[in-house]
Amino acid sequence: MPLKIFQYLFLLFSVSLMFSFKNIENEENSTLILFNSLETDSQKPKFEVFEKGMIGYSKLKGMGLLGGKNLLTIIDFSLSSNKKRMWVIDLKKKKILHHLLVSHGRNTGNEFATNFSNVLQSKKSSLGFYVTGKTYYGKHGLSLYLDGMEEGINDNARERSIVMHGAKYVNKNFIKKYGRLGRSYGCPAISMSKHKEVINLLKNKSCLFIYYPEAKYFKNSKLIKNNE
């Protein structure tokens, strides 16, 4: 290959790489600006969790899988179940609308969530990104269908009947009595006092991200990994 052609191709590659890094840097900066501008009367989620949530949200939005509500719901299962670890964020209004207690699966852990599964009858929580579906009335009253968006990670959610619902074991009195929040069969259950308001807000194609710093998840998640 003539030297000039090689130099030209090398220059072209270098410029392309520079713009690629610049775009990534701009995305990171815009996410940080958005995070810092969020209005809230309570504690925010950790930035690293919010940042990962935004990566998946943006991809799902780009694929046309989300509606027009501009909502991102984050559940951080690295936190104790005795703490509020679910956030409903309005990205357009730049405001945290709800900060709530939320349960994990019975076989996922006691006070802390540590084990996750996509397997039927496991009674464990599943990590990753979900898109909310329609509401229905079941044995827990008003409930919200969840569709897992990650193959092999949470795509059995419908078959496992993993939904968002209210539960009497999700409240401070239960924690005071038993030393931890009550547990579900894998569903992200929330308090009876808030479930109707929250479920009606989240229904019909909003984004839910369930986080835990599990190496296996981050190795296999296409919604996260392809951006790193």
Name the residue type at position 38: L
Superfamily for domain range 38-225: L,D-transpeptidase catalytic domain-like (2.40.440.10)
In this structure, what token pair is assigned to residue 185?
């069969």
pLDDT at 227: 55
Task: Give CA–CA dist 103/180, Å, rounded.
Answer: 10
pLDDT at 15: 43
Name the residue type at position 207: C
Sketch the domain layout of the chain as residue ranges. Answer: 38-225
Pairing of strands 71-76, 189-191: unpaired
Instruction: Output the tens digit of pLDDT for each of the chain's 228 residues.
Output: 555 555 554 554 544 444 444 444 455 689 999 999 999 998 999 999 999 999 999 999 999 999 999 999 999 999 999 999 999 999 999 999 999 999 999 999 999 999 999 999 999 999 999 999 999 999 999 999 999 999 999 999 999 999 999 999 999 999 999 999 999 999 999 999 999 999 999 999 999 999 999 999 999 999 997 554
pLDDT at 4: 58
pLDDT at 225: 77
pLDDT at 45: 98
Within 10 angstroms of residue 165's Cβ, the number of other Cβ atoms is 23
pLDDT at 7: 57
Q: Which of 101, 87, 67 is nearest to 203 (CA)?
A: 67
pTM: 0.87
